[in-house]
Amino acid sequence: MYPINLNMTGRACAVVGGGRVAQRKIERLLDYGAKVTVISPELGPELQSLAENGQIIWKRTAYSKARDLLEGFFCVFCATDDGEINRQAALEAKAKGALVNVATAPELGDFTLPGVVKRGPVQFTVDTDGTSPGFSRLLREDVAQRYHDGFGEFAVFLQEIRQELMAKYGDSQQRGKLWRRLLTADIIELILDNDLDGAKNEIRRGISSFGTEPSDSPR
């Protein structure tokens, strides 16, 4: 699978199915700003609440009884507990030009969904290319435990510093040299130890000393 991050903000996405699998996909889509239409004769209470609040559009019908429902969608997620229905929906969605994900048969779709751990603007993804969902889950849990919220906070700090450096150093090569010097494994260790202040101070000290050191280029 070719790894890619998609901007889903405002994208029209359909989810065929209204059970637990569909719910997980719908909740993630909403987290990333997609406009979600769900096609299912029934919904669980959580999804019913989303429909009542206008957060999702509910087409209250079984896909098998009302075809030609998948026109105009960017992505279609086939997430019923019926493999044949998922296959039929996948074929129609592909014919209409949508990207397709099939929960019960990944080989019928265009993409799979990795395990995700979010820490602010930092996003970790884990995938085993379908070889072992259990191992993928284990790895995701390990990442979630290891990389705490401090990594997201530090990324926001770096974003602020980056804006300052862009104003101070117009040369992108010079900025790249500075970042290579600043961002080392020691910074990661400080964050892992919950020493965010120490990590931030290391960055600030490195910036202050940059450009003041003797040049190592020949005269």
- Please check the confidence at residue 96 and state whether its pLDDT lies above 70: yes
Q: Which residues pair with 124 in a beta bridge?
A: 117
203 close to 182: Cβ distance less than 8 angstroms: yes
User: CA–CA separation, 112 vs 119, rounded Å?
Assistant: 22
Q: Would you call 85 helix, strand, or coil by DSSP? A: helix
Q: 10 Å Cβ neighbour count for 214?
A: 5
200 close to 157: Cβ distance less than 8 angstroms: yes
Q: Would you call 166 helix, strand, or coil by DSSP? A: helix
Share of the chain above pLDDT 90, in %: 78
Per-residue model confidence as pLDDT tens digits over 130-177:
788 899 999 999 999 999 999 999 999 999 999 988 888 878 888 899
- Please check the confidence at residue 56 and state whether its pLDDT lies above 70: yes
User: Which two three-digit tokens encode residue 74?
Assistant: 């960017």
Among 12-21, 71-80, 192-201, 208-217, where is mean pLDDT lowest? 208-217
- Please check the confidence at residue 211 and state whether its pLDDT lies above 80: no
Nearest to 78 by CA among 127, 33, 19: 19
pTM value surpassing 0.75: yes
CA dihedral 35, 2, 118, 154 (to 10 degrees): -120
User: CA–CA separation, 67 vs 166, rounded Å?
Assistant: 53
User: CA–CA separation, 95 vs 211, rounded Å?
Assistant: 58
User: CA–CA separation, 134 vs 91, rounded Å?
Assistant: 28
- Residue whose entry in the numeric block shows the structure tokens 């507990």: 81
